Structure 1
Amino acid sequence: MTTSPFTRRAVLASSAVLASTAALTACGGGSGGADTAEKIENPDENINPEGLPIVEEPVTITLMSRRAATSAEDWNQVSAAKEAQARTNIEVDWGLVAEEAAEERRNLLLTSGDYPEAFYRTGVPGGDLAKYGEQGVFVAMNDLIDQYMPNLTARLEESPALRTGLTFPDGNIYSLPGIYDPGTLGLRYQTKLWARQDWLDAAGMTAPETLEEYRAYLEEAKGAADGAIPLGGSGIGGIFTCLYGTFGIANKGTDAGAAVDLDPETQKVRYFPTSDGYREMLEFLHGLYADGLIQQDIYSSDFAAFTAAGTEGLLGSCAVQAPAGYFGEVGTKYVPLKPLVRSAGDEPAWHAVRSELSSIGNFVMTDNCEHPVEMARWMDFWYSEEGAKLFFLGVEGESYEEVDGRAELLPEVAEAASIDEGLRQHALFLGGWYPGWATGDWFRGVETSEQSTEAAKVVKPYALKEVWPAFTFTAEESQRITTLGNDITKYADEAVAAFITGERSLDEWDDHLATFEQIGLPDYVAAHQTAHDRRS
């Protein structure tokens, strides 16, 4: 675990803390802002200078936490939580709220002013981070990170894009990150395009590399089995993602924001669904759909139907992390495809690349925090190697063991009906939406399975070198972008579905672009350009 010297009276009355306190008074936030700032400036004598336990006498912190149905009903009974309490001396009132009610509950608490010390794993949107951060309701954590979170600081230094993506226009950090280890390929290159090797063999074909070859394979797959679905999915999104590089769009990765990238001609931010490349992608997909090569109910299907079709051996091609993780034994018959190119001789490009910053907004400290330094150090524990391993794997000897230098799940865990079932009473990551540090060393999901990792190696040589984390905006900008973005996204989704299914002709493309203009796309793009310029 990384540690650093700890000063009893840290110089934390910085402009960020003072500004937050002043904003709190002006905007009528909770009543604890000044007290929280004082506690940050003058840490309690109960706190140990460094290492563990964090405090000599037990301290209880209170959270509101989103609980997914896949996680344990009582997190304090999970072995990782019990072990963390024993190591840190920090007791946790998790304040669990069912995931379907978490957003409404969080909003009600914020409106009432009777909110907990922190919101945990509730996915606070960027607009709310800016709004409540500017008001002083959410604590600016810059100095807490620098003074009391050496493990997180080490992660930020390893990947500067993390700090870039966390920092708001006022220079403050209002939440802690979800981090994907840059070297864990299955997390960075998640969705890949797959084809059935046995169906390729039966047709006397090699793995397709061009769009023409891929179409030819799908035509063969159509007759490979009764009820065969040449190309299927639980939606069209994953298929889009795997074709972005082919058509030169999403050239800054898949986390930059709502369909924005950098125009290669103007070097300005663009909304890429209005680009020529996007139109060409829709033309290609419409052609497949018109000939019955794409699942005809793809816009009304769901994940259960998709996995059932895969398990029954009906899918010729799909876009997922790893087919074996969803289809069982049948899934082992698939091979990953290199990035498809439009014409033989073109340079392959893979744009389906995730940022190291997997999420923000899943740990937010409020001005009602009674134990800000203790809370910061407790959160920092989860960014250490020992804390992260505990979070994802549970306790050594209870749920996993070290085998030849690698953590391996015990048989009774690995052989459960699912990873979730096996780890429910041992690990805390279940249900996602976590602030933490995920790597293949301890994250056990389909993304880091052997099949997913080996497929990621296929696309890695062609992957983007620069990936944008999502942009951050001021509260005023966020409100405007949300309003515009909802209208733009709703129209875009409806139009794209109509273009692919043939309900609408691509001959109407100019009218389609004009509609975007009418509903405010120029202002939407301009706001993203402003955010981009702030980072430059």
Structure 2
Amino acid sequence: MLNALSPLTDRRTFVGLTAATFGALTLASCGSSSDAEVDAGSQDVGAMDGFEADQQFTATEPLKISILWTDWPEQPVTETWKVFDHIKELTGVELELTHVPFSDNVEKRSLLISAGDAPTIIPLIYRGDETPFVSSGAILPMSDYVEHMPNFRKYVEEWDLTDMVENLKQADGKYYMLPGLQEVWVPSFSLIIRKDVWEKAGVGIPGTWEEVHEGLQAIKETYPDSLPLADGFEGQSLINYGGYAFNTRAGWGFGDGMIGGQDGDPLRYAATTDEYKGMVEYYRALVADGLLDPETLTAANDGSGAGGVAEKFAQETCFAASGSSGTLIEFAQALDQTVGAGNYELQLIPPPAGPGGNIMGPRNFWHGFMLSSTIAESENFLAVLQFLDWLYYAPQAREMLRWGIEGETYTTAEDGAITLAKGYSLDSFDLNTGKGTDINKDLGFSTFLSEATESRQLKESYNSAEFTEYIDGVLTNLEPMPPWSPAPLEEAELEQASLMATPLKDAVDTATLQFILGQRDIGEWDAFLGELEASGLPNYVELINGARDRFVDKS
């Protein structure tokens, strides 16, 4: 059975310059960012001399650094958590937590930044989250200071991420967040199948969406009362990874809605393209043939097993669904209660290929952090940069944040294999479940901080052999789409873009679901395009293309 990528994986997905990001603009302070770069090297109290990559950071004077901490209901910080004490033992840095609940962490974060009350470290930041705060000067232009971060620079180069980092730049040519770095990138979400049922139906593991359709039809013949394919994430997951196979973007991956531009041609709005229409027609056919459960296209993952899909797996009315390796565990636990452990086989398969080819979404970053600009006034500025460089990018820190204390909570073999020590478990990843102290819930390791940057070896260390096979399958069979063409907006354009992007995206989401469910005939597609035109689409496309042209001219 596959182990879980992360408790967070099911909660946050690919993020571009979305309507949600634009919406935070109303909470951001107004003003102008400063062009004055601070000499961090001269504000070096507590910093190490000659700090280098892969070196243990230890502050030369004790430091206290504030950090914004997102609380998950299932991961409450307790007095037994050792992670913060261990960080202090290793580095001399005491982290002071400002707590925000997961349920409204984005809003609370925005309010703190706008009021000037944000902690120094603002983590759990995805690309685009920083944009609303750039013009106010509330956050630090990190590109001015990466010269003091040798681990970040080393792994950006080694993992061939330089061009992606360059695409983080805002309209002023600087980037204001540092992302988590992944040595290998595979989609967190894809199709989970009951492999034994698919093989029994004589179709095997599907490699294309056409084969998915054929396999679902064969299964339907054996299980006529089933609706064999499900989503469970309000329809946003299935069309996300499925959309890329049609050479478009949709669902969670819709972002600002713009595609193309890599060859110098103008950007286009994805929902107006023939490729998007082809994707919609494909899923509409699945619903019409009784192969895709329409109920699961409106069901959110509210903790009931991917929007109730786990129960459908358990009752053997569903045999394929969207999900991550964490979702797979939910399905397996449900099947254990009905079919029985050992009587089924689940597999997370690489995203199927489609008319657009053997492609997946663009290689992406994981979440990282931004810094409150007030740190630039601190005598400890350089020490803070060195500490974060170690915490977020040094291999020994990444291993510690995931596994805990070597020799106590885990051991490392000569070949690098990591094993939890006797008496410890990591229940969220199905490791020694229930057999001792949970290093996550009881000690505070393997939280969101552990996810951001990972080598392939570290990623595989807490996942199963099946997940390694998934990685191999993705990297062998699929190519990432080219990265989305950057089109950073200037301050005056941001609110304008927000006012246009939000109703357009709402209209696309509503119509896409209506077409797929058959509530709206595909013959009305041209009418739908006309509705987008009337909602200001031409002006929006012109605005984004203008920003794109400006970015290219400055590059």
RMSD: 3.6
Q: Helix, strand or coil for the counterpart of 1:437? A: coil
Q: Which residue of 2 aligns with 1:350?
A: 359
Match of 1:453 among 465, 468, 474: 468
1:327 aligns with 2:334: no
Q: Which residue of 1 aligns with 2:372?
A: 365
1:377 CA displacement: 1.2
Alignment of 1:7-46 (within 5 A): 27=31, 40=40, 42-46=42-46
Q: Which residue of 1 aligns with 2:385?
A: 376
The alpha-carbon distance between structure 1 residues 296 and 130, as it changes in their structure 2 partners (threshold 3 A), is: closer
Match of 2:440 among 419, 423, 444: 423
- How high is the TM-score relative to the length of structure 2? 0.77
1:230 aligns with 2:228: yes
The alpha-carbon distance between structure 1 residues 503 and 406, as it changes in their structure 2 partners (threshold 3 A), is: same
Equivalent residue letter for 2:419: E
Instruction: Tell me the distance in 1 between the aligned counterparts of 2:47 and 2:40.
Output: 12
Equivalent residue letter for 2:367: S
1:192 aligns with 2:178: no
Match of 1:339 among 341, 346, 352: 352
Contact kept, 8 Å, 2:259 with 2:484, in 1: the verdict is no
Equivalent residue letter for 1:424: K
- How high is the TM-score relative to the length of structure 1? 0.80
Q: Helix, strand or coil for the counterpart of 1:297? A: helix
Match of 1:165 among 164, 167, 174: 167
Alignment of 1:287-326 (within 5 A): 287-303=285-301, 304=304, 305-322=308-325, 324-326=328-330
Equivalent residue letter for 1:198: D
Contact kept, 8 Å, 2:31 with 2:135, in 1: the verdict is no
Q: Which residue of 2 aligns with 1:278?
A: 276
Q: Helix, strand or coil for the counterpart of 2:146? A: helix
Identity of aligned residues (%): 19
Q: Helix, strand or coil for the counterpart of 1:423? A: coil
Instruction: Tell me the distance in 2 between the aligned counterparts of 1:109 and 1:190.
Output: 31
The alpha-carbon distance between structure 1 residues 256 and 81, as it changes in their structure 2 partners (threshold 3 A), is: farther
Q: Which residue of 2 aligns with 1:114?
A: 117
Instruction: Tell me the distance in 2 between the aligned counterparts of 1:397 and 1:389.
Output: 13
Instruction: Tell me the distance in 2 between the aligned counterparts of 1:161 and 1:332.
Output: 40
Equivalent residue letter for 2:483: W
Q: Which residue of 2 aligns with 1:67?
A: 71
Instruction: Tell me the distance in 1 between the aligned counterparts of 2:299 and 2:461.
Output: 24
1:42 CA displacement: 2.1
Alignment of 1:215-226 (within 5 A): 215-225=213-223
Contact kept, 8 Å, 1:250 with 1:272, in 2: the verdict is yes
Contact kept, 8 Å, 1:126 with 1:473, in 2: the verdict is no
1:508 CA displacement: 0.7
Instruction: Tell me the distance in 2 between the aligned counterparts of 1:55 and 1:338.
Output: 45
* Cα shift readout 1:469-489 (whole Å, capped 9, x = no counterpart): 684433333322222221111
Instruction: Tell me the distance in 1 between the aligned counterparts of 2:195 and 2:119.
Output: 53
Q: Helix, strand or coil for the counterpart of 1:73? A: coil
Which moved further from structure 2: 37-46 or 95-104? 37-46
Unaligned stretches of 5+ residues in structure 1 = 1-25
1:282 CA displacement: 1.2
Which moved further from structure 2: 110-119 or 493-502? 110-119
Instruction: Tell me the distance in 1 between the aligned counterparts of 2:523 and 2:350.
Output: 31
Q: Which residue of 1 aligns with 2:238?
A: 239
Which moved further from structure 2: 238-247 or 432-441? 432-441
Match of 1:180 among 182, 194, 206: 182
1:198 CA displacement: 2.5
Instruction: Tell me the distance in 1 between the aligned counterparts of 2:268 and 2:63.
Output: 49
Q: Helix, strand or coil for the counterpart of 2:100? A: strand
1:214 aligns with 2:229: no
Q: Which residue of 2 aligns with 1:463?
A: 478
Alignment of 1:252-271 (within 5 A): 257-262=255-260, 267-271=265-269
* Cα shift readout 1:372-402 (whole Å, capped 9, x = no counterpart): 2222111111210111111222211233211
Instruction: Tell me the distance in 1 between the aligned counterparts of 2:428 and 2:244.
Output: 37
The alpha-carbon distance between structure 1 residues 516 and 450, as it changes in their structure 2 partners (threshold 3 A), is: farther
Equivalent residue letter for 2:395: E
1:82 aligns with 2:82: no
The alpha-carbon distance between structure 1 residues 109 and 284, as it changes in their structure 2 partners (threshold 3 A), is: closer
Alignment of 1:453-532 (within 5 A): 453-468=468-483, 471=486, 472-532=488-548
- Size of the aligned set, in residue pairs, is 491
Which moved further from structure 2: 394-403 or 316-325? 316-325
The alpha-carbon distance between structure 1 residues 269 and 227, as it changes in their structure 2 partners (threshold 3 A), is: same
* Cα shift readout 1:93-125 (whole Å, capped 9, x = no counterpart): 12122222433333333333333333233x488
1:311 CA displacement: 4.1
Instruction: Tell me the distance in 1 between the aligned counterparts of 2:363 and 2:252.
Output: 6
Instruction: Tell me the distance in 2 between the aligned counterparts of 1:405 and 1:124.
Output: 30
1:412 CA displacement: 4.2
Instruction: Tell me the distance in 2 between the aligned counterparts of 1:197 and 1:220.
Output: 13
Contact kept, 8 Å, 2:401 with 2:450, in 1: the verdict is no
Q: Helix, strand or coil for the counterpart of 2:218? A: helix
Contact kept, 8 Å, 2:281 with 2:516, in 1: the verdict is yes
Instruction: Tell me the distance in 2 between the aligned counterparts of 1:125 and 1:211.
Output: 30
1:139 CA displacement: 1.9
Contact kept, 8 Å, 2:63 with 2:92, in 1: the verdict is yes
Equivalent residue letter for 1:238: S
Instruction: Tell me the distance in 1 between the aligned counterparts of 2:210 and 2:109.
Output: 50
Instruction: Tell me the distance in 1 between the aligned counterparts of 2:461 and 2:362.
Output: 18
Instruction: Tell me the distance in 2 between the aligned counterparts of 1:28 and 1:247.
Output: 41
The alpha-carbon distance between structure 1 residues 57 and 331, as it changes in their structure 2 partners (threshold 3 A), is: farther
* Cα shift readout 1:347-366 (whole Å, capped 9, x = no counterpart): 842224541x2235x33232
Unaligned stretches of 5+ residues in structure 2 = 1-29, 333-340, 432-437
The alpha-carbon distance between structure 1 residues 199 and 337, as it changes in their structure 2 partners (threshold 3 A), is: farther
Instruction: Tell me the distance in 2 between the aligned counterparts of 1:388 and 1:277.
Output: 40
